[in-house]
Chain A
Amino acid sequence: MSLELVNISKTFTNARTKEEVEAVRAISLKINTGTFVSLIGPSGCGKTTLLRIISGLEHPSSGTILLNGKEIAKPYGQVGLIFQEFALFPWRTVIDNIDFGLEIKKIPTQKRKELAEFYLHKFGLDGFANKFPKELSGGMKQRVAIARTLINEPELLLMDEPFGALDSQTRNSMQEFLLTIWQETKKTILFISHNIDETVFLSEKIFCLSSRPACIKLTLDIDLPYPRERTSLEFNLYRKKILDYLAQERTQLEG
């Protein structure tokens, strides 16, 4: 699914104090079908807000969102959202979490469970079908969350710092895992991260956002073949570009 944002802006108004906070300012971008694109920017700059707008959980104050060229106000089901905090339903077992979307669609139990088992197996969760989320490690929880979203076959996958809560080794393996999934399923992925290493490792293109209110200040095309070598010179040149950009943003903010 291709995604196009045309002049998206979002201002939040505090109902009580009437204070206005401009989160996002005139963001326009285009993402082609099947590409892996990241958004990176300083903390609190509005990246999550942008993702929430695209997912339909928030309305933009102005601007248009085009999915495959069409405006869809609430593209639930077509656009999947992965949260940093996993958001698994704690009262449901792993397999019941995974087939949640299918249960909503009233797909018959047999078929649902078969499909869920397929994802279970594919995501390395064998043996955990009947466990509850509280019994899983962070990496596993996120895998369940991704399975739960992918089983619905969304055309666009939005990921809000999905690996932020994981330790760095788990994080690295989850990044590799994600790349495998992406290469197999050819989904369009929009990925938010703080972590420069992560975005350079994963993305074909990186949009660098300014501090709040967010707008796109820099676009980088990462022209490296997969799988990427984290320690290579080229990799680090890209990293440096982003580090420099972020440092610049910081001084502008402070200065």
Chain B
Amino acid sequence: MQPSRLKASIIITILFLWQILSSLHIIPHYKIPSPWEVVLSIKTLTTIGLPQGYRLPTHILESLYRVFCGFSIAIVIAVPLGILMGWSKIARETLTPLVEIIRPIPPLAWIPIAIFWFGIGIKSAAFIIFLGSFFPILLSTVSGVLSVDTILIEASLTLGAKRSDIYKKVLIPGATPSIYTGLRIGMGIAWMTLIAAELTGVKSGYGLGYMIMVARDIQRPDHIIAGMIIIGVTGYALDSCLRVLERRVLRWR
């Protein structure tokens, strides 16, 4: 059986079993809604919205917007810094202790200070996302640069490359496969961090995390589960986009 058929059939089987168990009242549906109820819930979330007027597509876009803000800032800072740290032993030895102390602090632990600094809103959300995605991207960039075969750097030197040429034309392209891995990991963390941040208060009315909290407040597990599934699917879509991009950029491998 083709892999995609296999993937689909597993999901379909699970949905099928879930629906049956629910219809037979083996699974209490006031706690675990059936798949059909979840589908209806998605319809309601899209047409009416939760809270009323705050529709699902807008929730999704708002969450995506926050992720992109934080994530892009993370890339812009982490990649150049990572290249510097990968290339320069001094930079690496000086900055690594600092990085290693800050890195273990969970992004969510930064929420109080983020709200203090930036207030509630896009800036604090983006900041938290930035922190979540920054470290995987930084570390994978450093690792990528270190993994560039010395012989390629030497070849470029003998061909007349200056330092900036080596950075641009040898280190970055050479580190790209590793950087992409970091991007995918960073994106995964960013997305999870975002939802958690939205759950715990960095909110402004829109966002998938916020939507789930409202669903809990009004005791609608069908909306909660629907929200969770949307979160999972959106996260999967984000990763797929990165994978497609990665395949294109890394055609040469």
Contact = CB atoms under 8 A, between A and B. Distances in A.
Interface of A: 55-57, 76-77, 79-81, 83, 85, 87, 89-92, 100-101, 103-105, 132-134, 148-149, 152
B162 A104 contact: yes
Nearest to B251: A132
Contacts of A104: 159-162, 165, 169
A18 B170 CA distance: 32
B160 A105 contact: yes
A70 B162 CA distance: 22
B160 A87 contact: no
A100 B158 contact: no
Interface of B: 149, 151-152, 154-162, 165, 169-170, 173-174, 176, 251-253
Q: Of residues B151, B155, B158, which shows the largest number of chain A Cβ atoms within 10 Å of its Cβ? A: B158
Contacts of A105: 160
A100 B169 contact: yes
Contacts of B176: 91
Contact of A152 (B151, B152, B160, B251): B160
- 5 nearest A-B residue pairs (beta carbon): A77-B160, A87-B155, A101-B159, A132-B252, A91-B173
A225 to B, nearest CB: 33
A152 B161 CA distance: 12
Nearest to A100: B159
Contacts of B252: 90-92, 132-134
Given A91-B174, A100-B169, A152-B160, A81 B155 contact: yes
A79 B158 contact: yes
21 contacts: A55-B158, A76-B157, A76-B158, A77-B158, A80-B158, A81-B155, A83-B151, A83-B154, A83-B155, A87-B155, A89-B152, A89-B155, A89-B170, A89-B173, A90-B252, A91-B174, A91-B176, A100-B169, A104-B162, A104-B169, A132-B252
Contacts of B161: 76, 104
A104 B252 CA distance: 21
B157 A87 contact: no
Grouping DSSP codes into helix (H, G, I), strand (E, B) and loop, the B interface class, with mixed when no group exceeds half, is helix
A90 B252 CA distance: 6
Nearest to B172: A91
A215 to B, nearest CB: 25
Given A76-B160, A77-B160, A81-B158, 5 more contacts: A56-B158, A76-B157, A89-B169, A91-B174, A92-B252
Nearest to A154: B158
Nearest to A151: B159
Contacts of A100: 156, 159, 169
A195 B173 CA distance: 35
Q: Of residues B155, B160, B161, B251, which shows the largest number of chain A Cβ atoms within 10 Å of its Cβ? A: B155
Contacts of B173: 89, 91-92
Contacts of A103: 169
Q: Of residues A79, A90, A105, A148, which shows the largest number of chain B Cβ atoms within 10 Å of its Cβ? A: A90
Nearest to A145: B155
B149 to A, nearest CB: 8
Contact of A57 (B158, B159, B160, B251): B158
Contacts of B174: 91
A95 to B, nearest CB: 13
A105 B165 CA distance: 10
B156 to A, nearest CB: 7
A87 B154 contact: yes
A151 B203 CA distance: 60
B127 to A, nearest CB: 34
A253 B41 CA distance: 83
B156 A57 contact: no
B253 A134 contact: yes
Contacts of A134: 252-253
Contacts of A81: 154-155, 158
Nearest to B156: A100
B152 A87 contact: yes
Contacts of A89: 152, 155-156, 169-170, 173
Given A89-B173, A132-B252, A152 B155 contact: no
Contacts of B165: 104
Nearest to B159: A101
Nearest to B165: A104
B97 to A, nearest CB: 22
B166 to A, nearest CB: 10
B11 to A, nearest CB: 36
A114 B169 CA distance: 21
